[in-house]
């Protein structure tokens, strides 16, 4: 296969840069505690300095993998498939989700929303970043807003983002892992004063699972 032929398949979503895939327990947000199969797609230019999977940023490091093979493997393990990254919306998710839905499974995505929303999703977890804000379209479709709290200025940013999502969107504040000891008390106080928010923790890290 030539480079241009491979790129054409990537552009169509028939090949995706697969970083890793694993069956585990969803550790964060609304679906925490739920068994799910995770598909981590490489490639992200949002560049959060506290990102805990920086190895996902360069798509070239991860092999272009046939989408149908990703689907065939994923559905062996779970009826809930979580697509994450990196930033999965860097790529066209239409083909991946069409194939997953044809298998009758639930499709979830974790995204910064910085790129055009593609694909068919049963659950959209939107986690906006200051460096590259979400598209206007995704605010109306997000099921869950997960705001990462690194310092006190992030509470203001969280409120700005909450003002943009739809009225049914679930609102979560989650401590950045390396700052958790400092910011958890601040988050607890904030949620008690503003109960429209809920606390999200990275429980998979406490459980020492992927």
CATH number of residue 119's parent domain:
3.20.20.70
Identify the bridge partners of residue 174 per DSSP, sorted by sequence position.
Answer: 148
pLDDT (tens digit per residue) in 113-130: 999 999 999 999 999 999
Q: What pLDDT is recorded for position 3? A: 85
Tell me, yes or no, whether 134 lies in a domain.
Answer: yes
Task: Check whether 50 is labelled as a binding-site residue.
Answer: yes
Strands (E), 26-66: 35-41, 64-66
Q: Is 27 annotated as a binding residue?
A: yes
Share of the chain above pLDDT 90, in %: 88
140 annotated binding-site participant = no
51 annotated among ligand-binding-site residues: yes
Q: Domain range spanning residue 147?
A: 15-206
SS (HEC) of 55-117: HHCCHHHCCEEEHHHHHHHHCCCCCEEEEECCCHHHCCCHHHHHHHHHCCCEEEEEECCCCCC
Residue 125 marked in a binding site: no
How many whole angstroms separate alpha carbon 147 and alpha carbon 166? 15
174 labelled as ligand-binding?
no
CA distances to 29, 31, 36, 165 from 82, in Å: 13, 11, 7, 21
3 is in an annotated binding site: no
The chain-wide mean pLDDT, for the chain, equals: 96
Q: Do the annotations mark residue 195 as ligand-binding?
A: no
Does 129 count as an annotated binding residue? yes
Angle separating helix axes 67-74 and 94-102, nearest 10 degrees = 40
Q: Is 153 annotated as a binding residue?
A: no
DSSP 8-class letter at 129: B
Establish whether 169 is an annotated binding residue.
Answer: no
| Tens of pLDDT, residues 139-157 | 999 999 999 999 999 999 9
> Is 84 assigned a ligand-binding role in the annotation?
yes
pLDDT of residue 47: 85
Q: Report the DSSP beta bridge partners of residue 197.
A: 171
Half-sphere exposure of 104 (CA within 13 A, CB side): 1
Please indicate, yes or no, if residue 7 is contained in any of the structural domains. no
Task: Give the chain's domain count.
Answer: 1
In a domain, 3, yes or no: no
Query: What pLDDT does residue 206 have?
Result: 87
Tokens read off for 188 = 């607890």
pLDDT in tens, 48-87: 888 888 899 999 899 999 999 999 999 999 999 999 999 9
Residue 199 has pLDDT above 90, yes or no: yes
Q: What is the mean pLDDT of residues 82-108?
A: 97
The encoded tokens of residue 100 equal 């997953």
Q: Binding residue per annotation — 25?
A: yes
pTM, full prediction: 0.95
């Amino acid at each position: 296969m030539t480079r241009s032929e491979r790129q054409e398949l990537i552009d169509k979503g028939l090949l995706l840069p697969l970083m890793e895939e694993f069956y585990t327990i969803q550790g964060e947000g609304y679906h925490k505690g739920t068994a799910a199969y995770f598909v981590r797609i490489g490639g992200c230019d949002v560049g959060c300095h506290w990102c805990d999977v920086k190895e996902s940023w360069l798509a070239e490091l991860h092999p272009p993998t046939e989408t149908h093979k990703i689907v065939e493997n994923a559905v062996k393990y779970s009826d809930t498939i979580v697509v994450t990254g990196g930033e999965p919306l860097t790529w066209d998710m239409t083909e991946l989700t069409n194939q997953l839905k044809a298998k009758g499974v639930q499709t979830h995505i974790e995204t910064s929303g910085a790129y055009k929303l593609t694909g068919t999703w049963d659950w959209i977890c939107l986690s906006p970043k200051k460096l590259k804000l979400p598209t206007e379209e995704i605010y109306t479709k997000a099921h869950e807003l997960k705001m990462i709290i690194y310092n006190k200025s992030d509470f203001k940013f969280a409120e700005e983002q909450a003002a943009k999502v739809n009225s049914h969107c679930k609102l979560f504040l989650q401590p950045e892992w390396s700052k958790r000891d400092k910011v958890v008390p601040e988050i607890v106080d904030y949620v008690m004063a503003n109960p429209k928010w809920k606390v999200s923790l990275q429980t998979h890290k406490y459980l020492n699972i992927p």
